[in-house]
Amino acid sequence: MTYSRNFWALTLGMFFFMTSFNLIIPELNEFITLLGGETYKGLIIALFTITAAISRPFSGKMADLVGRKSTMYVGTIVSIVITLIYPFSGTIAFFLTLRFLHGFSTGFLPTGATALVTDILPAEKRGQGMGVFGTGIALGLGVGQALGTPIANALTINGLFIVSSLTAVISLILIKSVKETLPNPQPFTFKIFKIKANDVLEKNVLPAAMVMFLTTICTGLILVLTPDKSVYLGIENKGWYYVFYVVSTIAVRLFVGKLSDKIGRRQALILGIVFLIIAMLMTGNAKTEFWYTAASFIFGIATGISSPTLFAWMADLSPAHRRGVGSGTLFIALEFGILFGAASTLSIYKNTPESLNHAFTFGAFVAGLALFYVVLHLIFSKTNINYKKQTKD
């Protein structure tokens, strides 16, 4: 399949955006600990995702009315500004407030980007196209997590924040070069932020959203706990898990991205979730660097199969004129999943290796619920669209 310049510019823009906010994640546990807030580690991810989820109905409506690009601009500018303010955090409350505000970045940019990429991908190749698009996202996540600690060691944590902000600037430049795909965009007015019930969720997308919610609870656990797990295992780089995760997830997305186009969305999800359950159990029980690294590879396989499949399924189910809301619905599920996973560590994780293992066992249980849901949906529901018979939008 040949992709347009628009597609590659958008994918590269998402890569730099994801790199930007993932650069700082491995060091935030230590940052809040230095402020005296060790017990609030779970809020670092939780507050971020609360704001992202709250903003989805607004960003989805804006993407469908004003334009995909305008929505992306909002997210990128927020990321640039907030990241530059982090070095001025002198109290726990101020730092957590910034984390809350930073969530607007992922509440807006990915919603607009997903709606735009859905516009330009033919229905029968969505699984494959979303796999390539997701590769840019996964690569940014992995590169950010891998480079965060080395950059902080070389430039201090404040230097890391500056590098993160500059990376978001590159994303903004690339997004500016992308062509708008929304026909007849409306001028921006604050009236568009008057939200009605049907602006919050696209009901046709709810099956994909349910699976997204349950599986991303595991992602929330990974984001909060793997920096500490690395320390327990004596691994200096707190983003170690993501270094190897990104290798496997990219390989899977590039070579198995069209799997769901061939065997069906739900069938592919069953395979991905099985790998996710294995990854959770291995991550929690890993006692050596080797098994920890192996677990990260398997987590990469799981997300490499499931993530593009869920976005392709969302695109299948969402009406063309509501793709912004449809994308927002899936991202709301993603945010609430990460939020629930991150917040659950506040009660499960007691800053000990034993309690960390309990948290990952909980993740495996939740992934098991996702598997049960998909199997039931496959057996009893006939709402899976035959995307091979759809015509190109």
Q: Which sequence spans correspond to the domains of the chain? A: 7-179+199-386
Q: Residue 370: pLDDT above 90? A: yes
In three-state secondary structure terms, 116 is helix
More confident residue, 138 or 78: 78
pLDDT of 1: 56
Q: Residue 29: pLDDT above 60? A: yes
Mean pLDDT of the chain: 85
CATH fold of 7-179+199-386: Growth Hormone; Chain: A; (1.20.1250)
Per-residue pLDDT of 145-160, as tens digits, reads 888 889 999 999 899 9
How would residue 393 be classed by pLDDT, with cut points 50, 70 and 90? very low
Helices (H), 177-258: 197-200, 206-232, 240-256
Among 272, 333, 331, CA closest to 304: 272
Q: What is the pTM of this model?
A: 0.72
Report the alpha-carbon distance of residue 202 to residue 209 in Å, rounded: 10
Burial 78-96, CB ≥16 within 10 A → b, else e: bbbebbebbeebeebeebb
Report the alpha-carbon distance of residue 270 to residue 265 in Å, rounded: 9
